[in-house]
Structure 1
Amino acid sequence: MVAYRGQYLRGLDSVHGDRRTRVEVFQAIERVAEQLLVRLDLANSVLGYIDPENGRYVLNTQRNIAEDAGTISAPALCRLFKTLEAAGYVYRRIERIRLDEKDEYGLHLVRTRVLIRFTKQFWADLGLRYVYERVQNAAKKRRDVQLREIGQRRMAEIERHSLDLQRRTISRKRWQAKEARDARDPAQGQLALPQQMATTAKQLEPDILPERMTGHQALKAIGAMLTRKPAGS
């Protein structure tokens, strides 16, 4: 990259106006070029990838890129991306996330998440715009297939979860019905004895003489009682 300084990425060479960009910037690009290409998502030109397990998009961290490169520090890589952004070759979206962890002074730690996307102008100034567009179109087709597979797998998981939830609901209703039956059975057993006593009392009522009756009715009742009386008594 240093040998082609001024021929490619000319916007980077003139990012400071009349003064040419220092050669260390192009040397830094040479050091991290391999790691950037390995982590580049060809479908959208972002340094990241899609997790096939849950479908989430994961961004690569600048620290990991610098550590894998081995010849550049994380702060130097951050300054490189800032310079590329000033030249219009990179788009950065910075998001700061507050963590629950605290430092020794009791302040919450903050994690910085940075989305890095290379622009079309970057590939055009490298002389690779036509090649990259062809590669990107093929990568987008593969990405569509991958997203459909992830969507189908997620729908299958949702369906399994719904069936499991339905089975649990049916099982809970059956258990509640059984508990209700068990609660009613002892109550019915307790009510059976008074009902039997009432039935017995009704059966004995004809043997008891009414309070008011005529003389003829009284004679008939006494005769009936004597008839039912055992002979040996």
Structure 2
Amino acid sequence: MNKVLMAAAVTLLFAACKKDNKQSPQKQIDPPLATFKDSVSLNLDGTFYSYNDVDMIGTGNNQANLKVDSIDKTGHRYISNDPDTLQFYRLFSLKGKSGEISFAFFKRFATKQLIVSHEPIGYGVLMPTDEGDLFKAGTYGFPLDYSGINAHDGIAIALSKNIRLTSYDQTAPGYPVVVNADAQQKAQFKIINSQKETNGYLLEARFSMNLFEHDGTVHKVDNGYIKFRLDESPLGIFNF
């Protein structure tokens, strides 16, 4: 009986050793974000597009919280802005075989919170002391009034191929808008990875939204994905 128990114990010990010696399946580890090449991909109206060649990186200011004070008999609009607030934006664009795509990250700041840039290129731009708030991981919207009255913060996208499409209404301030107010209600730009570097940020994001022609015609974007290194030393002052 003891021999049987001993044999059973040896068998169990051997089985346990075999189990312990098994190697766990190796999880696939994605390469670090820093090794990725700058790129954008998306589906536009069901057709796949990609953009891989960096065209420009820029920065600048826009007036904020604009309002139409009056319209004279000739139709001229008299527009004023909030003197204590200024919009700061960072943008970049990439080219592909089908055209170009641009992204703007923008936020309004109290003018007294901004400092003057003394970079040789971009000299005179009023910048926040820390741009990090623009690139924090999280979900952002696509304000329709970008490049218009500038009363909101968020992300803007412009795409050029045979026509120019934007995530915002292209109508000038004071004129009837052509895009419905709820047109981007289900849209989102989600930064899923944001890494601070010595000279900028490494960003990874997913996005889906609508793009609009000048007359408000809608084009649907889904499965958008971007990887980009945004340098803190911009190439110049740009807008779109």
**TM-score class, shorter:** under 0.3
Give the structure with the larger helix fraction. 1
Give the structure with the larger strand fraction. 2
Higher Rg of the two aligned structures: 1
